[in-house]
Amino acid sequence: MPATDRVKQILSWYGSDNPGTKANLYRMLDHGQLAGTGKLVILPVDQGFEHGPARTFGPNPPSYDPDYHFDLAIASGCNAYAAPLGQMEQAVDKFAGQIPLILKVNNSDTLAKIDQPCSAVTSSVEDALRLGCGAIGYTIYPGSGQRNTMYQDLRELTLEAKRKGLVVVVWAYPRGAGLSKEGETAVDVAAYAAQIAGQLGAHIIKIKPPTAHIEQAEAKKVFEKYGIPTATMADRVRHCVQSAFNGKRILIFSGGETRDSAALLEDVKGMAAGGAFGAIMGRNAFQRPRAEALKLLQSVIDIYKAAP
């Protein structure tokens, strides 16, 4: 399909990337129900690794099966599906080429109790190529004392990924001894995390929905002095989008913990109104029964279809 004007505009922000990376970015933007709109809904399933199998798949036992998520991502018309190495590898052969894929190349489990969290690099650019993934996904924990290790591992992966025509998606999740629990989703911190991910060379950035809390004293002064609005979700998302190179990097938002659909969709509406490029929705999707998940994803997709 020839590119829409909106997709062309988005691609124009990635002028330093080679055509391989642009092609993989295009494939994500051209796939699923939101094809051509410049919006994305992505299904990420790495919680088996991050939170353990029972907490992740227990609420909806068919989801223990790696096939389940490929099927859900395809059936719902998502733009892409993201997973760690093993889960991707187990099922990808059957679904090869049917949906753009993001190989989650670092992961962290919650068995070791670590003050300064740091994900392990668990797969590689070479794995992404052999498994047919068009992107690598990587989590950073700004706020952790181990952040430099994560930034530096990312540097090498990013350079190689870009050379080989892959897209780099960064999950920017502030966390660690430097931040209060509330601060992890504070609007100043969320925007800062988006900025850091952008500076590290991410093509697509994923953050959590920002709250009205402001964590850093220095930032608080600036928000007040310049009257940066933070009252509504749309306001806060707008600031985050601006913080991602004035909206010139694709910024998407996670759905957070599982909860009822009405509250979730209300938030999604706010994010869409604030200029979010889309949603990355894992637990809220696959922990519901399949029919409900499809319905919820459809509602999210519809919101983004209607967004400006």
Of the residues 113, 257, 263, 308, which one makes contact with its own copies according to CB under 8 A: 113
CB of 280 to its own copies, least distance (A): 19
206 is catalytic: yes
CB of 266 to its own copies, least distance (A): 25
Of 295, 253, 249, 298, the closest CA to residue 274 belongs to 253
CB of 301 to its own copies, least distance (A): 17
Q: Kindly state the helix (H) or strand (E) to which residue 220 belongs, with its residue range.
A: helix 217-225
The residues in 48-77 that bind its own copies, with binding defined as CB under 8 A, are: 48-49, 51-55, 57-59, 61, 64-66, 74
Of the residues 38, 201, 210, 255, which one makes contact with its own copies according to CB under 8 A: 201
181 is catalytic: no
Cβ contact 141:147 at 8 Å: yes
Of the residues 4, 33, 98, 298, which one makes contact with its own copies according to CB under 8 A: 98
Q: What angle is formed at CA 193 by the lines to CA 188 and CA 197, rounded to 5 degrees?
A: 150
The residues in 131-170 that bind its own copies, with binding defined as CB under 8 A, are: 131-133, 142-145, 147-148, 151-152, 155, 159, 163-165
The C-alpha atoms of residue 125 and residue 130 are separated, in whole angstroms, by: 9
- Tell me: does residue 252 bind its own copies (CB under 8 A): no
The C-alpha atoms of residue 177 and residue 61 are separated, in whole angstroms, by: 35
- Tell me: does residue 306 bind its own copies (CB under 8 A): no
Q: Give the nearer residue to its own copies in terms of CB position, either 56 or 254.
A: 56
Of the residues 181, 231, 246, 262, which one makes contact with its own copies according to CB under 8 A: 246
Mapping DSSP onto H, E and C, the string for 120-174 reads EECCCHHHHHHCCCCEEEEEECCCCCCHHHHHHHHHHHHHHHHHCCCEEEEEECC
The C-alpha atoms of residue 32 and residue 90 are separated, in whole angstroms, by: 23
- Tell me: does residue 253 bind its own copies (CB under 8 A): no
